[in-house]
Amino acid sequence: MFAIPSMDLKRAMATNVRRTRHEKELSQEELADRAGLSARYLGSIERATVSASVTVLGRLAQALHVDACELIRIPQRRR
């Protein structure tokens, strides 16, 4: 069995969506609109209080113009 080190995929996605959204200078409302989601649901994803489906992962990736894999990659710890 493969173990995810120190962070689960839900938290990794939360971190990566929020970071990428900030890098692209988008508000939660703007990103939610582009992805066809409610801002409230996007906020829940960014707080890792919900697990997004692969469909939602794909919609967020498309709206952010990134590969979906980038949104679930475990962030590297800073040294």
3-class SS of residue 72: helix
pLDDT at 75: 78
Q: For the segment 23-35, what is each residue's pLDDT rounded down to a tens digit?
A: 999 999 999 999 9
Give the torsion sign (CA, 43, 18, 62, 23). positive
Q: In this predicted model, which residue has the larger pLDDT, 26 or 74?
A: 26
The predicted-structure confidence for 20-69, as pLDDT tens digits, reads as follows 999 999 999 999 999 999 999 999 999 999 999 999 999 999 999 999 99
CB hemisphere CA count around 1 (13 angstroms) = 3
pLDDT on residue 51 = 93
The structural domains of the chain, ordered by start, are 9-72 (1.10.260.40)
Record the pTM.
Answer: 0.86
